Amino acid sequence: MNAFYQQVKASLLKLIGYSVEALPAMIAAIVILFLTCYVANLVRNIVRRIGRRAIKNLSLRSLLIQTSYVTVWAIGILVACVIAFPDLRLGDLIGLLGLSSVAFGFAFQDIFKNFLAGILLLLQEPFRIGDQIIVQNYEGTVEDIAIRSTQIVTYQGEIVVIPNAILFTNPVQVLTAQRQRRTDLGIGVDYNTDLLLAVDVLLQAVLEIEGVLAEPKPEVDGMGFGESSIDFVVRYWTLPQKIHVRRTRTKVIIALKEACDKAGINIPYPIRTLYYYDQEKYNDNAAISNGRKAGE
């Protein structure tokens, strides 16, 4: 029993001795981590200031800022590990990271996939910060493109965070990629209308609306003969942002209705004509029955 007590005591003293010896290294490692936090924020701010002056591309600027921040943290953690564990050399640590990369790859494949997709999106720039996009069932304005995900704000003011892998592997409709955007607005006129007059009235009404661009020029195209009207489509161009599109569409609808009223052009609603027959006089079943009797 005494021997066991002595052995436990020796082990505890040895452990305390190792802890005392390792304490300065652990304190130094913690100090390194605090310095890394400070340096990482400092480097990020410096890169952000330089980027504002030298790089006009918001996406590329964001990529450089995030990359510099992550790089400083990676270097700081490696240095802290080497100081905290003196027997662990930097080469051994890098080799350990290399051996464990396969395991990390399987465990965090979604994170790495989003990370690589984010870098490619920032480099290729299919859309930029401030663009309005549609991806799957989400539509809104791109507020931030990060390494892992992209954040958009919907027109209702909701924030949607979309993983970059979804944006990279699915069709993305960029509504503000061009300087202008076309709207097609359908309208029908009565069959008794002078069609040349109707086209001229509709076109002139659109040209006078604030928000409709003069170039490309608006057009009025005939679409076909409907059930109760001859159908036209008024095509006009506006600025691409959603707010301009919807406000101008409202103005166009009001202007077209007022122009048609002034010109005496009727915009018909669906009409159904019902015919009532004398069932005794026009009875197909009775005629068939009579024919069969005559044949007999």
pTM exceeding 0.75? no
SS3 percent helix, strand, coil of the chain, rounded to 5, is 55, 15, 25
Find how far residue 52's CA is from the centre of its chain: 24
* DSSP label at residue 281: T
Residue 273 has pLDDT above 80, yes or no: no
Among 186, 202, 185, 183, residue whose Cα is nearest residue 258: 202
Residues whose CB is less than 8 angstroms from the CB of residue 96 and which lie 6 or more positions away in sequence, other chains included = none
pLDDT band per the 50, 70, 90 thresholds, residue 219: very high
178-296: what CATH class?
alpha beta
Range scoring the smallest mean pLDDT among 17-26, 103-112, 168-177, 270-279: 103-112
Q: Taking the domains of the chain in order of start, what are their residue ranges?
A: 21-97, 122-174, 178-296
Q: Which amino acid is at 275?
A: Y
Distances (CA, A) of 130 to 181, 211, 283: 16, 21, 70
Q: In what side-by-side order are the strands of the sheet with 172-174?
A: 159-163, 149-154, 138-145, 132-135, 172-174
pLDDT band per the 50, 70, 90 thresholds, residue 230: very high
pLDDT band per the 50, 70, 90 thresholds, residue 15: low
- Please write the tens of the pLDDT for every residue from 152-171: 999 999 999 999 999 988 99
Distance between CA atoms of 144 and 130, rounded to whole angstroms? 8
DSSP string, 176-229: TSSS-EEEEEEEEE-TTS-HHHHHHHHHHHHHTSTT--SSSPPEEEEEEE-SSS
Percent of the chain scored above 90 by pLDDT?
A: 37
Question: Helices 109-124 and 90-107 meet at what angle, rounded to 10?
Answer: 100
- Please write the tens of the pLDDT for every residue from 51-70: 778 777 676 777 788 778 88
Percent of the chain scored above 70 by pLDDT?
A: 74
Range scoring the smallest mean pLDDT among 128-132, 203-207, 285-289: 285-289
pLDDT band per the 50, 70, 90 thresholds, residue 110: confident
What token pair was written down for 13?
Answer: 């003293």
122-174: CATH number: 2.30.30.60
- pLDDT, average across residues 20-49: 81
Among 105, 99, 43, 106, residue whose Cα is nearest residue 70: 43
* Common-topology check for domains 122-174 and 178-296: no
**Matching residue, tokens 């465990």:** 107
